[in-house]
Structure 1
Amino acid sequence: MSLPVDDLQCAVCCDIFTDPVLLSCSHSFCRGCVRLYWETSGSRDCPMCRKRASKAAPTTNLALRNLCDTLQEAQRESLSTGKEDPEMSCDLHAERLKLFCLVDKRPMCVVCQSSKTHKNHECLPLEEAIVDCKEELRSTLASLRDKMDSLKRIHTNSMDTMDYIKNQAVETQQEIQAKFEQLHQVLRRQESERLAAVKREEEEKLAGMRDKISEMADEMLSLEESFTVLESELNADDMTLLQNFKAIQERCNSIPLGPVNMAGTLIDVSKHLSNLKYSIWENTNNHLEYTPVTLDPNTAHPYLILSDDLTSLRYSGQSFGCPENPERFQKSAEVVGMRPLGSGRHHWIVDTGGNGDWLLGVAASSTPRNAEVSARPENGFWTLCYRDGELRAMVSPPTPLASATPVRRVRVQLDYNRGTLCFFDCSSSSSSSSSCDEDDADARLLYRFESAFTEMLLPYFYTQSPHPLTILPESVFVTALRQYTPTQVP
């Protein structure tokens, strides 16, 4: 006859019940155990649920006492006849398994404890070991459940990202088609090549996402199998759990719990749209408009709206369903340019218009995208700020700059090698935007940063105004050089 030994153990002494009594809360304990507990605690509470017991003496649990007597009688008969459960005996010494080795993670007898194999190993009684092992496996199961929840969230975000990639591909193709439509029919061949490039990248990105999702599905399946094994072992008898504990633990520890890398999963829209007209017509003799800086939409905060040609931004106050990719600013309405700057001289002019809340400048490429950081040089930002009608250089502390009128046009000029970043007010300049620089008499120097730049910089933009900030185009002249052959004079 198989008796439920765990159900016949007192929760206080962890041994078979002796003269069990039944409390009003339906919990049972040894009469002596509950009396000692009450004397020690000074209150008549249940040791398990803390419910107040009645003042009357607890009644004897006759049914439980009969079961305990039957179990003890069976154990005595087993000892007298020499019949023991083979699973409870040591394979080497035929002794009863009473200890659990914490080093080798397996049950053993008292003779094993004195052997060379387990010498100096820390051991616990089986009753204590089973409690610790169950607790550890429950903790592992909880960790795996957390991993499963995390994978489910990532899986959902990955499916949304796939839809976003498809939308990116469609919108990018439409923009490319619109710009090609403005050109002559002789350029159709180049248009087809660019559309094919977007299609190839879309297929590559979607294939990459399918691989990631497939990997996550496999991992989720492996986790589900681990859940089944763990739950099965936790429901098994104690000795089977202890004998299989090491193998279960190794299986659970072999499951990778690292984060899924989602960087670089979006289509590089800037590669296809940045200065598209210029790149197509750069070998022609026509005058072209060239924008020295274009924005990277994969970095734009979800509340920012960028123009189709990636040269202006404005604040909307609502999200447009952008995925949480690692490149994107998540905490503040920021965006950076698509091309990092690491040497030489660079400049761009921003038309602020009626925008009354903006920051312009450069940011180090390593600045965090998922945290709010003060735009100061010590944090990798060199910027000018206009807010509440006041223009300030963002140093520590911010320095107010005198300006009789609002700055409508700002030229940002970077000399990376010399370590300087200058801001000019070109609002009253009579010359074209392309010639507004430090040599322009109407251009006024607003502020000059000096720093030893040590990493790549990115053009930086911030606004919380519905009025756009626009990067102005510059005129570019393409001249074809021809070899001159003098005419022979007779």
Structure 2
Amino acid sequence: MSAASCQLTEDQFLCSICLDVFTDPVTIPCGHNFCKTCITQHWSVNVPYKCPNCKDIFYTKPKVQVNTFISEMAAQFRQSAQQKVSSSSSEQQVSKPGEVPCDVCTGTKLKALKSCLVCLASDCETHLEPHLTAKQLKRHQLIDPVENLEGRMCTKHDKLLELFCKTDQMCVCMLCTVLDHQGHSVVPLKEEYEGKKVELGKTDAEIQQMIQKRRLKIQEMKRSVELSKKDADREIAAGVQVFSALKESVERSQAELIDTIKEKQRETEKQAEGFIKELQQEISELEERSSEVEQLSQSEDHLHLLQSSPSLNAAPPTKDWTGVSIRPPSYEGTVVRAVNQLEETLSNQMKKVELKRVQQYAVDVTLDPDTAHPKLILSDDGKQVSCGYVEKKLPDNPERFDPCIYVIAKQSFSSGRFYYEVQVKGKTHWTLGVARELINRKGVITQRPQDGYWTIGLRNKNEYYAPADPSIRLSLKRRPEKVGVFVDYEEGLVSFYDFDAAALIYSFTGCCFTQKLYPFFSPCVSGGGKNSAPLMISPVSETF
């Protein structure tokens, strides 16, 4: 029997009613076999009594008995199947938290591979086999394993939710469309699924774009933090340098103050010592004369006393000490002068620190010959410009300044900070600064911030000014030989520095920049050779 059972297939041991291996199989008069419970329940609701397979009718309810042969064969098949399940379960994956378990497995639950929408059950690899081999089960709809299969059934009609009502935006069954959703726009789930999938794809693309923007924003913020840290480190270093210099200056000034006071005290002591020594010398001489007088006065020799007294009556030569005194030196103003000198030292140090701070934004600037007035002479490297006597014949392009003796740089800046230095030594007239991109380059040009120019200049040899409305006269303690130009685009700041003095000359503040900015230069006319020295763009150096 064991050998024979090996030749049998699984289909021969399946009840066509419950679609499972026979339990207490019985044979009815037409010869078909069913589970005893299955056929009994079937006939309890179907009269006349009919065979579920061949449809033969029995007008009298047949008496059924267990078919022992098939029962034994089914038991052996069930045992063999159970052994296969046990052997294969060791190879299959056990269901983990978050995974759908097999609904058929007893004991250890294996991971489900598919869920059946007809059986409303999820099967592992072993229990899925009947759906892949049995004819009746092959027609069932299988999907990737999901939990809560009961939720896929219509709670009202106990039918599969296989349609979607677009009107009410809900999943429905076939009976719902007839009874509750008449006239509504109803489509198959798959069709709505495809549409929703496209919408979700667009939504996901939008979300990914939002994520990317936020990632870029994070990178921007991280860069800002890095720049902030660099600025902080730089400011700390500058602060340490300033306070170290201040400390050294304080200690030096304190030492100088103490030395000055001590030196005055030493001079007073020295003077007093000289007077005291001189007085002591006179006292010694007077005491000696007093001793001689006393000795003579005690003499009983009349002749000797009379002969010696004339020489003793005259006092020894001495100094008139009436107007001589030691006056303590005056220290008034000593501390004040030391503090003022210290303040000046600190102020100079602060100026140097400020100039060093802006110098870190140094950029390489070269002159643009396409913008230079025809009289201007530019060096081959684009670092020097002076005004000649002859106007060259050049193409009259829109970028060229004419008739004003101007030129701008090739480089432009529309964000951030930048700094450059220009030597103005030996010149009697010049103008420096920045100009925006869209400015008037022909005819009469007014150098004012409202016209796109932020500059300072020298005219009439010693008159420094900042063109504005009205023009601002600048009071400088010395003639700068090298001028530094610093721009903070976002802050709206244009500052000019005297490099050698490390001093701020002037600042335009509260500017609103909306266009590109170009470094601007005007060496002005040569003035018969008095102003022939060139403007020279210098490499930025921290040497003061």
Same fold by TM-score greater than 0.5: no
The one of the two structures with greater contact order (alpha-carbon pairs below 8 A, sep at least 6) is 1
